[in-house]
Amino acid sequence: MPDTSLTLISHPLCPFVQRAAIVLLEKGVSFSRIDIDLAAKPDWFLALSLTGKVPLLKVSQADGPDAVLFESMVICEYLEESQAGARLYSADALSRARQRGWIEFGTATLAEAWQFLNAKDRPTADAKQSAFRYRLQQLETVLVERPYFGGAAFGMVDVVFAPLFRYFDILDPTVSQPIFENLPRASAWRAALAARQSVIAAVGEDYDERFQLHLRQHQAIHAA
Residues identified as active-site? 14
Q: Please list the alpha-helical segments (H only) found in 28-149.
A: 43-48, 72-82, 93-117, 122-140
Q: How many CA atoms lie within 13 A of 201 on its CB side?
A: 11
* Nearest-angstrom CA–CA distance, 112 and 137: 14
The crossing angle, in degrees rounded to 10, of helices 173-180 and 122-140 is: 40
* Nearest-angstrom CA–CA distance, 27 and 197: 12
Residue 134 three-state SS: helix
> Hey, CA dihedral for 187, 220, 111, 210, is it positive or negative?
negative
